[in-house]
Amino acid sequence: MAEQDGVRGAAGGEFAHKSVLLEETIEMLQVRPDGIYLDGTLGGGGHSLAVAEKLDAAAGGRLIGIDQDEEAIRAATERLEPVSDRVTILRDNYENAADRLLELGVSAVDGILLDLGVSSRQFDSAERGFSYRMEGPLDMRMDQRQTLTAEEILNTWSEEEIIHVLRNYGEEKFAPQIARRIVQEREERPIRTTSELNDLIDRAIPARIRARDASHPARKTYQALRIACNRELDVLEKALEEFSQLLSPGGRFAVITFHSLEDRMVKQTFRTWENPCICPPDFPVCTCGRKPLGKVITRKPIIPSTEETENNRRARSAKLRVFERNQA
């Protein structure tokens, strides 16, 4: 969720909000005035507001927004106040969305939106520890009610576990060197701040590599730690499985991703829903009996326009993929 523009948030300052691929997402969702829609990553409420403005409360139109971040809940509640007659806001992880909807008496929805990643407000709050560009504690929790932090991962997980995290969640080719440096450093003193982590990553990656790579040397490590801390890929995998059954006939599922691991998972899942057959390719007819759930609307992902990326640099890596469930 790359966001910026101005809803007052917690801890002073603003909950910046500029929703990525906003017009494209709303167009793809094909919002009906009497439909029920789920925004599983509410953030500052930009996408939800655009959906809710198309709904008719009298006709049963409803938007249910979920987020695990307390600051996001506050900001979205304020932003969505003008359409509060058709909006329900819940604080939870979207992996629990199906159960929470059942509590509300909702067994199916006409559209689902996931805008994955970290909001600009989270990135720009030094105390949250998401950014390698600011001095702060190594927190990285999206839900501050949870106990696991990036600091705990760095100081208590084994070297092998840290290598696994950096390789699998950050695609960091220098994972063994960085993990070894982390273990050596914490034997002397705990690693507690972003600057301490940045310094040891600098020392772990060869200078010649850092010199020819335009990106920050800590970028992949921070991504990996954040994903591990918040179980992001596990949550997405669980949600994709459950949301496939949550969509009403003809309903659409739109997912905005910001890195290749998420995008790959969404792409492969949507393809499997469209073509679930597991029969050998040389079989003349399908015998497994698996039926398509629907069709992929976006053969190639929708990406932000040049104008959008110029106005919002955090939109550059965004990709939107959309799936539509069969009418039958």
pLDDT over 50 (residue 157): yes
pTM, two decimals, is 0.91
Region of poorest pLDDT, from 209-218, 242-251, 256-265: 209-218
Per-residue pLDDT band for 313 (boundaries 50, 70, 90) equals confident
Q: Are 143 and 199 in contact (CB under 8 A)?
A: no
pLDDT confidence of residue 7: 36
What CATH superfamily classification does 7-121+232-325 receive?
Vaccinia Virus protein VP39 (3.40.50.150)
CATH architecture of the domain 132-137+145-230 equals: Orthogonal Bundle (1.10)
- Looking at the chain, which residues constitute the CATH 3.40.50.150 domain(s)? 7-121+232-325
pLDDT over 70 (residue 10): no
pLDDT confidence of residue 241: 92
Q: Interior CA angle at 111 toward 110 and 115, to 5°?
A: 165
Reported as a single tens digit per residue, the pLDDT across 44-65 is 999 999 999 999 999 999 999 9
- Looking at the chain, which residues constitute the CATH 1.10.150.170 domain(s)? 132-137+145-230
Taking residue 214's Cβ as centre, other Cβ atoms within 10 Å add up to: 4
pLDDT over 70 (residue 314): yes
pLDDT over 70 (residue 6): no
Q: What is the mean pLDDT of the chain?
A: 92
pLDDT over 70 (residue 17): no
Both structure tokens of 52? 């809710």
Q: Calculate mean pLDDT across residues 120-125.
A: 86
The residue to which tokens 């300052």 are assigned: 13
Both structure tokens of 283? 């079989």
